[in-house]
Amino acid sequence: MRNLIISAAVTAVVSLSTAAPAQDSPRGAGAEKVAAITHAAVANPSDPAAIEAFVKTLVEVPAGSGLYLVEGDILVSRGEIASYLENRRPPAASDPPTEEPVSEELIVNVVNGQYDYLKSKDDRSLKYTIDRDSFRSSQEADVALANFQKGTQAWVEACHECGVSFSLVEGGSDAHFVLAYVDDVDGPIARAFFPSYPKDLWRVEVFPDYYSDTLSFDQVGVMRHEIGHILGFRHEHIGNIPGCFAEGGTYQPITPYTPNSVMHYMCGEGGSFDLALRQTDAEGFRCLYTTGKPCP
Any idea what the CATH number is for the domain that residue 211 is in?
A: 3.40.390.10
Average pLDDT, the chain: 80
Q: pLDDT band for position 12 (50/70/90)?
A: very low
pLDDT digits (tens, 9 = 90+) for 248-275: 667 776 887 777 889 888 777 777 899 9
If asked whether residues 225 and 274 sit together in one domain, one would say yes
Q: How many folded domains does the chain comprise?
A: 2
Does 145 map to a domain?
yes
DSSP assignment of 145-177: HHHHHHHHHHHHHH-GGG--EEEE-SS-TT-SE
pLDDT digits (tens, 9 = 90+) for 95-108: 443 333 333 356 78
pLDDT of residue 222: 95
Give the DSSP per-residue string, 99-159: SSPPP-SEEEEEETTEE-S--STTTTEEEEEE-GGGSSSHHHHHHHHHHHHHHHHHHHHH-
The pLDDT of 94-121, averaged and rounded, is: 66
Q: For residue 281, is pLDDT > 90?
A: yes
Q: Are 206 and 144 in contact (CB under 8 A)?
A: yes
Residue 109 falls within a domain, yes or no? no
Choose between 111 and 89: higher pLDDT.
111
Residue where one domain finishes, among candidates 55, 74, 102: 102
Which of these three, 51, 79, 102, is where a domain ends?
102
56 located within any domain: yes
Q: Show the domain range for 81.
A: 13-102
Cα–Cα distances (Å) from 187 to 10, 103, 214, in that order, read: 20, 29, 16
Residues 124 and 192 in one domain: yes
Question: Which of 102, 128, 161 represents a domain boundary (last residue)?
Answer: 102
Judgement on whether residues 94 and 120 belong to the same structural domain of the protein = no
Q: Is residue 187 located within the same domain as residue 258? A: yes
The pLDDT of residue 17? 64
**Picking from 80-84, 183-187, 191-195, 217-221, which range would have the lowest pLDDT averaged per residue?**
80-84
pTM tops 0.75, yes or no: yes
User: Pick from 281, 255, 259, 284: which is nearest to 272 by CA?
Assistant: 259
* CA proximity to 176, closest of 195, 158, 162, 191: 195
Tell me, rounded to whole angstroms, the distance of Cα 170 from its chain centroid: 27
CB-based contact 167:125 (threshold 8 Å): yes
Q: Lowest-pLDDT range, 45-49, 67-71, 167-171, 180-184? A: 67-71
- Inside any domain, residue 67: yes
Phi, psi torsion values for 289, nearest 5 degrees: -85, -15
The tens digit of pLDDT for each residue in 181-192 reads 999 988 889 989
Domain check: are 73 and 169 in the same one? no
Report how far apart, in Å, the C-alpha atoms of 197 and of each of 39, 95, 109, 177, 222 are.
29, 32, 11, 11, 20
